[in-house]
Structure formats: structure tokens, C-alpha cells
Structure 1
Amino acid sequence: METTAYRIDGHKMLEHWITVPLDYFGAMGLLPHDGATRNVPSTIEVFAREYVRDGHDSDPRLVFFQGGPGSAGPRMAPIGSWLETALDHFRVVLIDERGTGNSHPLEALAVTAAGDPDVQAAYLSCFRQDSIVRDAEALREALQGDLPWATLGQSFGGFTVTAYLAQSPKGLSEAFITAGLPSTHLPADEVYRRTYKSTATRNKEFFARYPEDEATAWFIATHLADVEETMPNGERLTPARFRQLGIVLGYSYGLELLHFLLENPVWQCGGQRRLRPQFLARVCEQLSYAHNPLYGVIHEAIYGQRSSGPTAWAAQRMRGEYPEFRLPELAAGGSGELDLRREEGGFRFTGETIYPWQVASDPALAPMAEAAEKLAFHTQWPELYPQAALAENTVPTAAWIYVDDMFVPYEISLATAHEIRGLKPLITNDYHHDGLRTGGPQMIERLIKAVRS
């Protein structure tokens, strides 16, 4: 392991690098011939940034897993929010989960250079939460030998903590989770059945607060069906892609974020009403996965387990069960959208979903579309959360569960909380999915109190 030390505002900041295997579970070995994997590395570098508050050098360590998948550890400048409070109790390690940040970051070119779509899919399968747990264990052992450490996971990071509890509990002294308890056995279908319902509810809240925005949304959607508008990344903005702005509704101030996104979208250009370049830039910033391509291609793969079968584009399939979210075939002039408006009674933005046509249209994801298709129908996933191990858990654990979480269904989180022996659930409707960001200091203190009382 290599470490570089810095000083910052009353803290030591340590940057750690460690070399780990790419393939812990033999995914590449399932390919038909070794020559196909010649462009795939056998090892990768994993990076973590550690903060130690002055006078706290003997505090225990806590490793933080970011949400995602495909998101790097937070870069906080200045130190604040939940990290400020956590540093009163721990030396905090912010790991860049593999495939993100400084930890072998992936983008389309790196993936396609690995080989054909079968090789690409096998390569991508090495970046799920079970591999992240193995990386964390390698880092822990390099930093402190056999001594266990505490862990905190937000959203997908909570999925990783749950896998940690099931697979390597000896490495943990305490476990904290916010907005991230996955089902131990249900297929992705059941996640999306619930999240489409919560997304519909959040849409109603949005249009109740900002009723004039529904007319704006209808105009933009029907306009996009008839007029070609291009985002700065070169992708055509379609009605279906426009609807994906609803992902921001899952955040604490998501209603306001979406309202601000819809501000002043139209101008007159050559006697024709067009979407403003500034509006298209704002939309592109939200919709493009250029900044987070790994999320786009393995988002559903994080639900894959042998017991639940292939994900098979669950979000796309489950969408068909909810007429208000269906994609109409638009006639010239956008009459299909208008017919849908009359039939269903309201516009609906979608939420945290990835669709096959989206992967094919986003320039940051399109080169990996065939690999994503293979991942969607992959059947050789290992189990992520062995139920027997969780039923015997001895690691003190607490989890914040949000009744109104649009991304991680409350019912599923609560069921899993009951499956993990000794887990103390903290249930609230005061926060949305990003509660750790908006209420972090209080949440950290409550988590610590829960596991130590």
C-alpha cells in the first residue's frame, strides 16, 4: 500500500492506494477462451482518502460507501455535513469504490477495449457490491491488520454494507446504513413495482405544488415528438428521455429542483418555438451519464442473484404495468401524448430507472449497449446477501429507513431489517433518499446512539 499525507484545516488527510485482484469470483474464467481476456487487467488500483481530526489519532476507523453504483467517494471542501460529525467519533475513510474516482475508473472506451461484448459483460460484472466488500477488506487489513472497523453506507453503499455483514462480518465492529437496505431475495421486478408507485405519488405532489409546470411539461414532451432538439452531448432529446428528469423528485428538495429545471425553456428562433440552449444544457447535465457511466450499465445488475434470476430489464418490463408511465406511439404533432393526457389525467415523470433504449441513445453508454444487454440476462450471479448469515449477525447495526423513499422501497427495507439479527431500524418520514446530506449530523449521532445503547 502507498500513502501520501497532507494537512487541511485541523485535520490530517491521508491518501491510500492499494492493489487488488480484478476478478474475485471467477467471472472472467467463465469465458470460452483465455485469449478473449488479453485486454483485461488481472489487478486494479483502489484509492481511499482518510481524514483524521487533530487529537483523534487513536479513534477507531469508519469506512464510508457512497451511493450509486458508480459514484466515487465524496470530495468535501470544506469538511461539513455528516463528515464533520463523524470525525468527532472516528477516523473516516472515504473509499472510491472500484470503477469510480481514482479506483480504476471505467468509461465506454475502457470497457470496449477489453474485448467483445461477452468479455465486456464479464468485466463489468466484477464491479458489484460483493467485489467492493473484498476491496474494503484488503484495505482494512493493510491499514490495521486484524482489527475490525466500523462502516457507513448510503443508498447503494447500504447494499454494500449489507453484503459486508453477510460475507465478511469479522471485519466489522459496527455498521450504519442510511437509505439502503436491499431485499435479500426478491427480484428487481418487486423493487420497480414499488418505486413506480412512489414515483407516481411524488409526481402528484410536484404538480400540486407547481400546477403551471404540468402545462410546461406537456408542451415540451409534445414538442419533442415533432421537433428534433439536440442536447450538448449530441443526443436527441426525446419525450421519453425528457420524462427521466423525474429522478430528481427522489431528493429532499426534488420538487424545487425540477421546478427550477423547467424554468423558461422556450424561445423564438426563426419564427419557430424552440427549446433554449440553456435549457437543453441543464437537461443534459441531469440526463447524461458521461459523469457516471458505470451506473448506467450495471444499475440493474446490482439486483442480480442466483436465487432471483436475471433482471431482464426489469424497469422496462414493470413500466408496462403502470399505464400512467407507458410510452405512447406519437403521431405527427404529438397527438399520442395529448391522447395519453386525456386518458390518464396527468403528466408523469419517471424516477430512478435505466432502460435499454436509454443505454442505446446516451453517447456515454451506447458503446456498451451490447454488454448491458448481456448483463440483463446473466444467470450466473453469486448470492449477495446469504440469509442464514444475516440471521446470525453479531455486528451492532442500525439503519435509517425512510417511509417516503422513492428509490429504495420502505416495505423492502423494513423486511430486510427484520432479517438482520440485532439491527435497530430508525424509521422516519422526515427525510427523502438524500437524508444523510440534508440531515447528516443528527442522523450520525442517532445511528451511533442506537448501536451503542
Structure 2
Amino acid sequence: MTSYRQPGVILTDHRFSVPLDHANPSGERIELYGREVVDPSKAGEDLPWLVYLEGGPGFGARRFTGRQAWLDRALREFRVLLLDQRGTGLSTPLNRQTLPLVGAPREQADHLALFRSDSIVRDCETIRHQLTGGAPWTVLGQSFGGFCAVRYLSAAPEGLATVLITGGLPSLHATADDVYRAAYPRIERKVAAHYARYPGDADRARRIVRHLAEHRPELPNGYRLTPEAFQSLGILLGGSEGSHQLHHLLENAFVRTPGGAELSDAFQEAVAAQLSFAGHPLYALVHEAAYAQDDRPTAWAAERVRAEFPQFDPERSPDGGTPPLFTGETIHPWHFTSDPALRPLRETADLLAARTDWPALYDPARLAANEVPVAAAVYHDDMYVDTAHSLETARAIRGLRTWVTDEYEHDGVRASGPRVLDRLLGLARGEI
């Protein structure tokens, strides 16, 4: 273990060995990375642990500097573990470069099926016994991390002292089709709100779509920017500053050249950075699989369901009265032809989309008998996680307390500083 300091914190790197398949503990093993964070004045104390599960799937734990966001509140009483879930961050990586080590696409798909919330919870239980000596710990789950937390309550509640969930109460029963059928109307509302805030962006978006339909440019990183890829920039609209970020991106789209108007280098670089999955390919590969828990394939659900909402059709004429619609947290087959970080994995993704042997993730009976203190922040019109689904699940988990708010978007636990975490701790402890 290596320890070092940042302002106001002591950090310690941890590496853990866990089974790739927990059903076969003597088989192949993978490495997990976690960063311990503690207040220097409490470093020698026997503090309770809080493990943070990042959203995604496919993102490593956020890299804080010092005591940013919610971390300052947590360090007042916890020793925190920022865990890079399997396949992410500094844990054994999964990407176009490493997956060929697993084998052909069929073997890759079988491998990736072990990177859902059920395996992540088994990882957490292995780590917990090593770090706490068997004492239960508190879990803070953001977005997909909340999905993992609900799986934890279903599979191993004995490991939990408290569960805190922010923007991440999943439906216990909804299929991927159900998830996206609820998502597209929310996305449309977010796009309408963006155009109301920045009316000039409607014409900017029309002009960009016309240009892309005619030229289909390749960005500096090799990304093929099509109209539907441009639409996917709407994923920004689910964050607290996302509408402003999208506006600043669009306002810098074109530059005059001797050959006429062209997409500016600055715009192309910014779009390439925003759209590339090079840093988080697992997000694209197992996103729909995160919802699968029956014998039906996900079968590219977001792409199929979009056909029920023709207003999102990227081939719709951008010259009409209605400005182009952006999309949100949706993964499509074209991602695996547009993005050079994903192109070699298209067959693997198709095999995952066709898979039919997904085990159940949640245990409604066990959740109905829950005894672990649970509190959840539910954002009133969360673009990424359906509010109605979240509230239905909240009612299904015994003793869960909710805070429903429109003060924050999906990233409220980060954007609010200490406030969201502080309120959830108060709710879980019955202080509010």
C-alpha cells in the first residue's frame, strides 16, 4: 500500500484480488483498485467505512482533489473507499486493446456478462472482509452505483450498516424496453427546456445537422460525426451545468475559411472529447445489460424503442419548423461504427445484445423485509433514471426514506457540495 497527501486528506492506494466469476472462486482472478481517503486528524482512529460506488456502468470512481463535493462531509466521520468497479479506472481494464486477450467475440461477450451489479456486489463483500474485519459498512451509490446498492440489499444486506442512494433507484422489474420507453419523453422535455433557455441554439443545431448530413466529417480522433452522433451530445442535458456546456459547444461550431464555412477545429476537438468512449468503453458495452434480468435479449433496446418516437429520427429534415432533438443516455449500434474506441468490439456488442440467460438482479421479497437503514435522493425529472420507476422501487423497499427534489439534476450529490449527503445521512438516522 502507498500513502500520500493532498490538501486536507491522506490517501492510500489499495489493490485487491477477486475472482472473475464468483461462482468459480478457484478460477481466473482480476485486480480491483480502491483509494482510501481519511481526514489527517482522524487517521489513527477506528472509523466506520463508507464505500462509494460511482455511476455508469463503466466509470472509475471520481478523482477528487482534497475534500471536494460530498467528500468533505463524509470525512467528518468516515474512512472512505473510492472503488474503481471491475473493469474501470485502475482495476483490470476492459477495452479494445485488452479484450482480445480474453479470446474471440463470443468469449469476450461471456467475459463481459460478469461485469454487472451482481458481480460488483460480490467484489464489495470480498473487499469488505479484508478492510473492516467483517464489520458492515455504509454504501453511497450514485446513479448506477445506486443500482448496485439495491442489488446489495437484495443479496448481502448483512454487509451493510446504511445505504445512501443518489439518483439511482432502479426499477425492480422494468425491461430495457420499458426503461427507454419512459426515457425518450423525458429527454424531449430536457431538450425543449434547453431551447427555451438558449433560443439561438435551435438554428445552430439545424445548421450543424445540415452540414453533417452533407459532409459526414471525421473528427481528429477518427470519430465519424454523423447527425445521430451529434444528437447524442444531449447526454449533457442531464447534469446541473449541462445545458450551459452544450450551448458553449454549439456557439463555436463554425468558422469562415477560403472554401466557405467549416466546422471549427475547437468544436471538433470538444465534440471528439465529449463523444469518445475511449476512457469508458464498458459503459457502451454493458449499458443495456445493466437492465437485463430475464430470458429476453435487450436487442439494442434504445435503438428499437426510438422508432416509436419519430421526432428523434436523425433523418428528419433539419429545415422544418421544429429544431433537431438531442438524445440522452442511450447506446446504439452506430456507436460501434462511429467511435474508433468501439469499432473492434461491434461483434461482441451484438452478442451481448442477443444474450438471453441473464439472472435476476433484485429480490423483491427480501427488499420488502429490509432492515438496513436506507435513504435515497430522487430528482424530480431526472433525465437518466425515471422518477416514477424510482418511487415505485422506494415503496417496495421496507423502511426506505426518500427526498424528492427539483433543486438538483442527476449530479446533485456532486453539485450540492455537502448538502445531499448530509440530508441523506439525516434521513437514514431518523434525524429529519
TM range (shorter): over 0.9
Match of 2:360 in 1: 383
2:6–2:65 Cα contact (<8 Å) kept: no
TM-superposition CA deviations, 1:335-354 (whole Å, max 9, x none): x5246x34xx2320111110
Q: Partner residue of 1:6?
A: 4
| Partner residue in 2 for 1:355 | 332
Within a 5 Å distance, the mapping from 1:6-85 to structure 2 comes to 6-25=4-23, 42-56=28-42, 57-85=45-73
TM-score when normalising by structure 1: 0.91
Tell me the equivalent position of 1:33: none
CA contact (8 A) 2:56 2:145 kept: yes
- Deviations along 1:11-40, one digit per CA (max 9) or x if unpaired, are 3322111110011246x9xxxxxxxxxxxx
In the TM superposition, what whole-angstrom CA distance separates every residue of 1:109-160 from its partner, at most 9, and x where no partner exists? 2113311111010111111111111111111100122211111000011011
Matched, 1:217 2:205: yes
1:93 to 81, 96, 100: 81
Cα deviation, residue 264, structure 1:
2.3
Q: Distance in 1 between matches of 2:318 and 2:16?
A: 56
Moved more, 215-224 or 71-80: 71-80
Tell me how far apart the structure 2 counterparts of residues 70 and 364 of structure 1 sit (CA, whole Å). Answer: 14
Amino acid at match of 1:51: V
Q: CA deviation at 1:271?
A: 2.2
Provide Cα deviations, 1:234-293, integer angstroms capped at 9, x if missing partner. Answer: 122111111111100011122101101112211233322211111111111111101111
Q: Is the 8 A contact 1:47 1:95 kept in 2?
A: yes
Are 2:313 and 1:313 equivalent residues in the alignment? no
Structure 2 counterpart of 1:185? 173
Residues 187-202 of structure 1: matches in 2 within 5 Å?
Answer: 187-202=175-190
Q: CA deviation at 1:60?
A: 0.7
Tell me the distance in 2 between the aligned counterparts of 1:72 and 1:338: 37
Paired positions, count: 428
The CA distance in 1 between the partners of 2:254 and 2:194, in whole Å, is 21
Aligned partner of 1:442 in structure 2 is: 419
User: Paired residue for 1:291, among 255, 274, 279?
Assistant: 279
Q: Does 2:310 match 1:323?
A: yes
Q: Distance in 2 between matches of 1:352 and 1:346?
A: 20
RMSD of aligned alpha carbons: 1.6
CA contact (8 A) 1:111 1:120 kept: yes
Question: Per-residue deviation at 1:10?
Answer: 4.1
Per the normalisation by structure 2, the TM-score is 0.96
1:162 Cα deviation from its structure 2 partner: 0.7
CA distance in 1, matches of 2:77, 2:118: 27
* CA deviations over 1:379-400 (Å, ceiling 9, x no partner): 1111111111111111100000
Q: Distance in 2 between matches of 1:406 and 1:312?
A: 22
Quote the Cα distance in structure 2 between the aligned partners of 1:317 and 1:101.
31
Q: Is the Cα–Cα contact under 8 Å of residues 162 and 181 in structure 1 kept in the other structure?
A: yes
Cα separation, 1, equivalents of 2:266 and 2:303 = 30
Structure 1 residue runs without a partner (length 5+) = 29-40, 329-335
User: 1:112 maps to which residue?
Assistant: 100
> Is the CA contact (8 Å cut-off) linking 2:8 and 2:66 kept in structure 1?
no
